[in-house]
Chain A
């Protein structure tokens, strides 16, 4: 049974005669078979958001419901792919319609013609339940794709075969307790708006290493945690997101370009195959899935893109992997929500956003977490990082505020740092992380208790600097005592020689946790030596600042990873001798 359109207003279409359709069903609209989703029903008339441009649609055109909610196809073929907001492969679309995206293109999400080599790991007679792994496919050289029993099926394996198959061919049959046989292929479908089930959730306990010094050392994010990066335009949000996608020590990255620039997706597409993962040495693209709804693509699909991305991420999490989902930008997603809400003539909440904005955002971030998978065999984690683009850079607006209530890590970007080309422009005074307590055992166990002590010292030095700067602005630097001037100097070193990190310089783009810890303690050691010198009666503090070793500290961050230990050690010795000489020189006078 099919309905008829009665009203078209932009991406919103109202159709009558759809009494057999359900809320959230996917529908096909008009003779071009545009894809849409039912938002509300009044009697037999449904309000539909259409994921493609609706020009040329008019009353009378047909609307057919598919009877299923918006779902994604999950199986081998996801990695290295770039999909649109409703999981249509963009490279396939390019083959069909050229450089622009025409409407009504019908392409399956996963290529059904590719033959994958499936190796069964379970055998006939095994008792299995949803989430159990029955075999593997080497999808890329970097990732083994674990084929799982879909949620909801359990029983005894009746039949299983290794060999070469497409994603649709039956590789396994499971007989349940009622004697019913379920066919299992390598592909599952899952509705995007429903989180995939798991056994239980844990509090995250390990940090997500990103190689970014200010993030890893000062404001660490836990694997399975949530973080937000708000900032005005030009403050480097996208570079930070790209850096996380490149260097985060996770197994899979799902990158959602949500209402952002087309060239940014192109950049990822061109750069990631060239870059290698510092852990595996394989190209980064081999662990990456891209979802792109660029700002010129239809706005309704923008709303769906976030869910499409996180559902794919959950699927890899269920395999027992550490997954990061990076969404740039959640503000565009919220705006898409606002636009549909406006067209539905709903009563607006703050700044025109719908009243359900914060609950939708919370639902999205709550799908992150460290979990024991269904079936209990493995632990997986899903880390969610969202960029926020507040209008005018002012975070006193609904999307930023609703996000801050949910996320545990907040990396606030600052335009004035960006103007001074201090990158990453994360403001150390207003950013925060709430994972320090849960991560303490991990840090203490791996780097000793010094690590968090050094972090605390660093934070207080930076805070003191901000207070001292106020005084300097009023009365000048000369009026400060020598220890205060030392604090200013050390804080400047922390800012310039530790926090600043150039994403475009090869040796600086990624810093391992060990190197970060050593570099920071080197800078703090300088502070200790100088303090000691001052207490021994050195009066000219400028003399301490001018020692030759300082230039070597300034260049320490770009020392290659295999040499840094020796180099830092030698810098420390040089500092000791030069500062020692100044102390002695003073004694001689």
Chain B
């Protein structure tokens, strides 16, 4: 039975305390009805005896304590899911906002999902070709991976994410069962519109589900938005056998909304005022990516976050990096040098690359050349640094070659623009071409057999 209460004790946005309640349970969804009939959603954060602490998903403006009613619905926040969601646009709370009809639900799913049994996971090992050398060659993405983009204000993360969404494909497989789920979390209209237009331009829009919570939408609604998107993605991946790419942008806004609620509850803050459970909270989102044994579909996740002050040790990128399977980091220095996409190769990482590359997936020499490129670029950058202090004469001949290699590497390997779609063969050959700058004795990380087989002839 649904009871209505008019016993709102206090409202300190975004929290509300309701007294004299009965039968209320933790995490339950509730509706607040204003005198004029407007309904706002909220959920139970704590029940203590006969009083409940409830968090509003919308603004508290206009609520009158005496005249408003609260209904507890006896169920958690759910999303109506269906295959018809493809091609539709929803609000951050899962309501259609594209003028179309309500989705005819095939199922109502709890947006919090359930933890995935590690014994039921299938290890992601299918190579995804994104056509971007720094990703395919050095930080390989595989199906079912969660690989965030760590960006900074003013860096072109949207272009990179759109390029991945546009070009990503699994070699030798049909592409008719893919879908994109896009969640705009507190970003501006312009940035959100950029993605929508990109999806329109490439025709991907018919295979997309879009959730938008824009910068001027209620901040607390953002806590639900990524979970809405993931619930839709789980349905498409594991019920409809689709390969879903989820793009969540911007996680920083999400974490700030979480901090707002935590602060309102007067919880003991962790680092920089973020709640102590930020790690757990982010993990329950990110861990929903993956593959399951016995299911054909998969969820590959690309969360985007802007690092405040480009600081990788800020709690949001830091905790994200501990959960996700690597990270793509964008560099302001490279961006200033007009190197596009400005992927900072050395601190970027894909943890699952080793299972997705090699003979039968990409090519047998992939792992060795990858390690060699990393090592050589790292040494080249050190050499260049030394050169700026001491001049070229202070370097050994090998270091001078490494410095030259680092320049060429940035200009040719990293900088490819947003429209160039390179095949993995092209990426690997380019890597060999660059390595041929260096003396053979320095290429210790490549097996001799591959050196014989793949090293291009040089005329130096």
Give me the interface of A with B, judged by CB distance under 8 Å. Answer: 6-10, 14, 53-60, 82, 90-91, 93-94, 97-102, 232-234, 238, 257, 259, 261-263, 265-267, 269-270, 292, 294-299, 332, 335, 338-339, 342, 348, 351-352, 389, 391-394, 415, 418-422, 472-473, 475-478, 496-497, 502, 504, 550-551, 554-555
Check: B25 CB closer than 8 A to any chain A CB. yes
Contacting residues, chain B, for A335 (C-beta < 8 A): 276-277, 279-280
State how many angstroms separate the Cβ of A117 from the closest Cβ of chain B. Answer: 27
The contact of A56 among B25, B120, B325, by CB within 8 Å, is B25
The contact of A477 among B144, B284, B288, B396, by CB within 8 Å, is B396
Contacting residues, chain A, for B326 (C-beta < 8 A): 234
A352 contacts B28, CB within 8 Å?
no
A93 contacts B347, CB within 8 Å?
no
Contacting residues, chain B, for A261 (C-beta < 8 A): 287, 323, 325
State how many angstroms separate the Cβ of B445 from the closest Cβ of chain A. Answer: 8
Check: B37 CB closer than 8 A to any chain A CB. no
CA distance A266 to B292 in the complex (A): 10
State whether A266 and B23 are in contact (beta carbons under 8 Å apart), knowing that A90-B117, A101-B114, A419-B346 are contacts in the complex.
no
Check: B315 CB closer than 8 A to any chain A CB. yes
Check: B46 CB closer than 8 A to any chain A CB. yes
Would you give 25 A-B contacts (Cβ < 8 Å), ordered by A?
A59-B24, A93-B119, A99-B293, A100-B115, A102-B114, A233-B322, A257-B118, A259-B279, A259-B283, A261-B323, A262-B116, A263-B144, A297-B115, A335-B277, A339-B276, A339-B280, A352-B268, A392-B312, A394-B313, A419-B346, A420-B346, A421-B371, A478-B394, A554-B441, A555-B444
B123 contacts A263, CB within 8 Å?
yes
Say which size band chain B's interface belongs to. 35 or more
The contact of A554 among B24, B114, B390, B444, by CB within 8 Å, is B444
A477 contacts B394, CB within 8 Å?
yes
A91 contacts B119, CB within 8 Å?
yes
The contact of B270 among A99, A351, A551, by CB within 8 Å, is A351
State how many angstroms separate the Cβ of B268 from the closest Cβ of chain A. Answer: 5
The contact of B124 among A238, A263, A297, by CB within 8 Å, is A263
CA distance A102 to B294 in the complex (A): 18
A391 contacts B318, CB within 8 Å?
yes
Contacting residues, chain A, for B284 (C-beta < 8 A): 295-296
A391 contacts B389, CB within 8 Å?
no
Contacting residues, chain A, for B375 (C-beta < 8 A): 420-422
Check: B386 CB closer than 8 A to any chain A CB. yes
Contacting residues, chain A, for B50 (C-beta < 8 A): 59
CA distance A259 to B315 in the complex (A): 17
Check: B156 CB closer than 8 A to any chain A CB. no
State how many angstroms separate the Cβ of A389 from the closest Cβ of chain B. Answer: 6
B322 contacts A389, CB within 8 Å?
yes
State whether A6 and B379 are in contact (beta carbons under 8 Å apart), knowing that A56-B27, A99-B295, A473-B386 are contacts in the complex.
no
Check: B367 CB closer than 8 A to any chain A CB. yes
State whether A262 and B394 are in contact (beta carbons under 8 Å apart), knowing that A82-B119, A339-B277 are contacts in the complex.
no
Contacting residues, chain B, for A478 (C-beta < 8 A): 393-394
A57 contacts B347, CB within 8 Å?
no
State whether A420 and B115 are in contact (beta carbons under 8 Å apart), knowing that A352-B268, A476-B394 are contacts in the complex.
no
A292 contacts B118, CB within 8 Å?
yes
State how many angstroms separate the Cβ of B1 from the closest Cβ of chain A. Answer: 14
- A sample of 15 more A-B contacts (CB under 8 A), given A234-B349, A262-B287, is A9-B45, A56-B76, A100-B120, A102-B114, A265-B118, A267-B123, A269-B118, A294-B118, A339-B277, A352-B268, A392-B318, A420-B346, A421-B375, A504-B354, A550-B441
State how many angstroms separate the Cβ of B134 from the closest Cβ of chain A. Answer: 14
Which B residue sits closest to A419, measured CB to CB? Answer: B346
A263 contacts B290, CB within 8 Å?
yes
B49 contacts A294, CB within 8 Å?
no
Which A residue sits closest to B279, measured CB to CB? Answer: A335
Which B residue sits closest to A332, measured CB to CB? Answer: B279
CA distance A100 to B234 in the complex (A): 12
| A-contact 0/1 string along B99-136, CB 8 Å cutoff | 00000000000001111111111111000000000000
Contacting residues, chain B, for A555 (C-beta < 8 A): 444, 448
A90, A348, A420: residue with the most chain B Cβ atoms closer than 10 Å: A420
B313 contacts A58, CB within 8 Å?
no
State how many angstroms separate the Cβ of B448 from the closest Cβ of chain A. Answer: 7
A391 contacts B47, CB within 8 Å?
no
State whether A99 and B276 are in contact (beta carbons under 8 Å apart), knowing that A233-B321, A554-B444 are contacts in the complex.
no
State how many angstroms separate the Cβ of B64 from the closest Cβ of chain A. Answer: 27
Check: B459 CB closer than 8 A to any chain A CB. no
A294 contacts B390, CB within 8 Å?
no
CA distance A288 to B394 in the complex (A): 53
A56 contacts B292, CB within 8 Å?
no
Which A residue sits closest to B122, measured CB to CB? Answer: A266
Contacting residues, chain B, for A415 (C-beta < 8 A): 347
Contacting residues, chain B, for A266 (C-beta < 8 A): 118-119, 121-123
Contacting residues, chain B, for A100 (C-beta < 8 A): 113-117, 120
State how many angstroms separate the Cβ of A501 from the closest Cβ of chain B. Answer: 12
CA distance A445 to B367 in the complex (A): 40
The contact of B325 among A91, A257, A263, A418, by CB within 8 Å, is A263
Contacting residues, chain B, for A56 (C-beta < 8 A): 25-28, 76
Contacting residues, chain A, for B279 (C-beta < 8 A): 259, 295, 332, 335
CA distance A55 to B286 in the complex (A): 20
Check: B141 CB closer than 8 A to any chain A CB. no
Contacting residues, chain B, for A102 (C-beta < 8 A): 114
Contacting residues, chain B, for A497 (C-beta < 8 A): 444
Contacting residues, chain A, for B89 (C-beta < 8 A): none
Contacting residues, chain B, for A348 (C-beta < 8 A): 268
Check: B336 CB closer than 8 A to any chain A CB. no
| A-contact 0/1 string along B238-279, CB 8 Å cutoff | 100000000000000000000000000001111100001101
Which A residue sits closest to B43, measured CB to CB? Answer: A55
Check: B48 CB closer than 8 A to any chain A CB. yes
The contact of A99 among B117, B327, B394, by CB within 8 Å, is B117
Contacting residues, chain B, for A269 (C-beta < 8 A): 118-119
State whether A90 and B118 are in contact (beta carbons under 8 Å apart), knowing that A58-B47, A294-B287, A295-B280 are contacts in the complex.
yes
Which B residue sits closest to A299, measured CB to CB? Answer: B280
State whether A233 and B318 are in contact (beta carbons under 8 Å apart), knowing that A91-B119, A294-B115 are contacts in the complex.
yes
Check: B13 CB closer than 8 A to any chain A CB. no
CA distance A390 to B277 in the complex (A): 15
Contacting residues, chain A, for B287 (C-beta < 8 A): 261-262, 294-296
State how many angstroms separate the Cβ of A232 from the closest Cβ of chain B. Answer: 8
State how many angstroms separate the Cβ of A235 from the closest Cβ of chain B. Answer: 10
A90 contacts B323, CB within 8 Å?
no
Contacting residues, chain A, for B319 (C-beta < 8 A): 391
CA distance A263 to B301 in the complex (A): 14
State whether A391 and B118 are in contact (beta carbons under 8 Å apart), knowing that A7-B46, A56-B27 are contacts in the complex.
no
B444 contacts A8, CB within 8 Å?
no
State whether A99 and B26 are in contact (beta carbons under 8 Å apart), knowing that A7-B48, A262-B116 are contacts in the complex.
no
Which A residue sits closest to B265, measured CB to CB? Answer: A9
B338-380, CB < 8 A from A: 346-347, 349, 351-352, 354, 367, 371, 374-375, 378-379
Which B residue sits closest to A342, measured CB to CB? Answer: B268
State how many angstroms separate the Cβ of A504 from the closest Cβ of chain B. Answer: 5
CA distance A338 to B287 in the complex (A): 22
B322 contacts A419, CB within 8 Å?
no
CA distance A98 to B269 in the complex (A): 37
Contacting residues, chain B, for A394 (C-beta < 8 A): 313
